[in-house]
Chain A
Amino acid sequence: MTQTVPVPARPDAGPVGVLELADVVKQYPGNPPVVALAGVSLRIDQGELVAIVGPSGSGKSTLLHVMGTLERPTSGVVRVAGQDTSAMSDAQLSGLRARRLGFVFQQFFLLDGLSVLDNVADGLLYRGGRAAERRRLAQAALERVGMGHRLDHRPNQLSGGEQQRAAIARALAGRPALVMADEPTGNLDTATGASLLELLHELHRDGTTIVVITHDDQVAAAMERRIEIRDGRIIRDTPASA
């Protein structure tokens, strides 16, 4: 990235967080309505490595979806890179996801019809730009996660750990402001999971901002900052011990 521009900071606040949630409520219709998030406020700054941890049903998946603009909150404000998302159209939100956010899923979600390289390049598809450039960036990302030797393989020819590495490369390729990983080690054995966490730490040391959603306390313990969530509320926010 040779050319950079500063994002205008809000005059009344300090440096802009990568992600800010202000009193976010998410309620699903029903009788009585299901409250998945009951007023969550949090802020994630650039360069953080955060675990959001909680048992199943605690609302952490909903939190990830709301943070990732995949779902709109019932009330409250979500700001991504300083931009308020509540008034954005579907196309604007999609643009935000394409350029600012990277997702890693428990099930990897690699397309079997494409090579590993094309899968990762598709992570940049909706930003536009030339296909050759996308493939170049994808290759760089794959090399970064130690998958440079698997470019032309099909996802079903890879081990689970390799597939998740490819999925991480896909999330990273566009240098998003924030990478969100939903139970990234959930489908992997312990050793593979450990090496994957090690990769996340490496990426973090390189400056990538990462949020890991997990129900696994051990995974959470490996992160710098831990946000514990239960019944749709944050019950504890343990900052990084500097």
Chain B
Amino acid sequence: MIRLPAHDTGASRLSRRDLVRVGSLGLRSRRVRAALSALGISIGIAAIVGVLGISQSSKTGLLNELGQLGNLITVQPQSTGFGQPTELPVTAEGMVSRIGPVTGVSEIGGIANVYVYRTPFVPATDTSGISLTATDAALPATLGASVADGTFLNAATARYPAVVLGAEAASLLGISDLAHPTQVWIGGHWFTVAGILNPVELLSQLDSMAFIGFPVAEQYFGFDGHPTGLYLRSVPSQVTAVAAVLPATVDPANPSIVGISYPSDILKAEVAAKGAYNGLLLGLGAVALLVGGVGIANVMVISVLERRSEIGLRRALGATRRHVAEQFLAEAVLLSVLGGLAGTVIGAVATAIYAVSQHWSVQIPAVALYGGLGAALVIGAIAGLYPAMRAARLSPTEALRTA
């Protein structure tokens, strides 16, 4: 009579935990190969996480700027089509400021044929492309511009030969600071430089201007008071409504000559352009993932061939076909997920470094993190399927015969 322990009955089994241990065995005993074959997945996931992270961070950065600049509207006279120079009515600024949601308005008036020189000895033709512009004291507040040195024009300096230089204009004239009283030669008069502006975001044309007050412009250069441009800010939610009434408000007689533009359109275009670029990079990341998956499948097929005797042994020890398939599938998935984890970390670190260097907040979309790992999991499972089936189909005697 044979006596057998009570638990010694039934089919073979392999617990989840044991499956993970058995599945990781191949990786543990061939570390370099495992690392190299997971590299493709790592690169693909890193590319995807990095692209999504960096674009999200930059978008957030741009949208922050947009929030600050999105309610800025520029008004300029349009050409009539007959080549006549156009200008806005003198009353424009006053009229616009009475539109309810407008929170600030400034006008500029270009003064033609008067140029700014460092000294009277500079040849008259050497204008450096600096345009002399009359404006009011509110301009920096309207544009959100700031003064790098000195002060902007005020009610007092607007009446005297004082000038404020845009960042580019100052640098063209060779004036870097106002540590010493500095004068420039404008249209046959010495003007004292009262201040230098910082570069103005989105309105870089202002950087090459030199600003003087309207009273001085009239007194010295016979400026007629017609503005050549208006800058205004409205309550952010009312930008469209304000824009709708602007032409008739600015020039009731000739609304058609009033051109309206939004400097923030440049930012929006920039956001959109970045998105288009992303599609390409994400595509490249996806190709890297695909190649990584093929690499894993390849390595797994080789692994199955090399480990025939192990497969035979495990079958002799009681592994079912299913257990053998599960082992190799688990190995492929582990390989891919480990590669995916490494890729996620690399992508996140790259995003963080780039975002910090650009002074953006670090933002990685959750979908990039979970999606990256999920993709690695799926790719590993698909890549492991064929090798696992091959391993399972191997007959135990055939597998044992090969050693």
A-B pair count, CB < 8 Å, reads: 130
Contact A92 B11 (CB under 8 A): yes
Contact A125 B14 (CB under 8 A): yes
Indicate with 1 or 0, residue by residue over A76-101, a CB within 8 angstroms of chain B CB atoms.
00000110000000111011111111
Q: Is B237 interfacial (CB-CB < 8 Å)?
A: no
| Given known contacts A7-B4, A126-B13, A113 and B403 CB-to-CB distance under 8 angstroms | no
Q: How large is the interface on A (under 10, 10 to 19, 20 to 34, 35 or more residues)?
A: 35 or more
| Nearest B residue (CB) for A177 | B2
Contact A99 B28 (CB under 8 A): no
- In the complex, what residues of B have CB within 8 A of residue A65's CB? 396-397
Q: How large is the interface on B (under 10, 10 to 19, 20 to 34, 35 or more residues)?
A: 35 or more
Q: Is B94 interfacial (CB-CB < 8 Å)?
A: no
Indicate with 1 or 0, residue by residue over A105-133, a CB within 8 angstroms of chain B CB atoms.
10101011110000000110111110100
Which of the segments B246-254, B273-281, B286-294, B318-326 contacts the partner chain?
B318-326
Question: CB within 8 Å of A: which of B7-22?
Answer: 7-15, 17-18, 22
- In the complex, what residues of A have CB within 8 A of residue B90's CB? none
- In the complex, what residues of B have CB within 8 A of residue A111's CB? 25, 29, 310, 313
| Given known contacts A46-B2, A109-B312, A109-B313, A127 and B13 CB-to-CB distance under 8 angstroms | yes
Q: Is A152 interfacial (CB-CB < 8 Å)?
A: no
Contact A94 B312 (CB under 8 A): no
Q: How far is the CA of A220 from the CA of B28 in the complex (A)?
A: 41
Contact B29 A109 (CB under 8 A): no
Contact A127 B318 (CB under 8 A): yes
Contact A71 B3 (CB under 8 A): no
Q: How far is the CA of A127 from the CA of B17 in the complex (A)?
A: 14
| Given known contacts A9-B1, A70-B396, A125-B14, A109 and B310 CB-to-CB distance under 8 angstroms | yes
- In the complex, what residues of A have CB within 8 A of residue B320's CB? 90-91, 94, 126
Contact B14 A126 (CB under 8 A): yes
Q: How far is the CA of A126 from the CA of B314 in the complex (A)?
A: 9
Contact A95 B4 (CB under 8 A): no
Sample (18) of A-B pairs whose CB atoms are under 8 Å apart: A1-B5, A4-B3, A5-B5, A7-B2, A7-B3, A9-B1, A71-B397, A90-B321, A91-B11, A94-B315, A96-B318, A97-B315, A99-B10, A113-B26, A125-B318, A126-B314, A128-B15, A177-B4
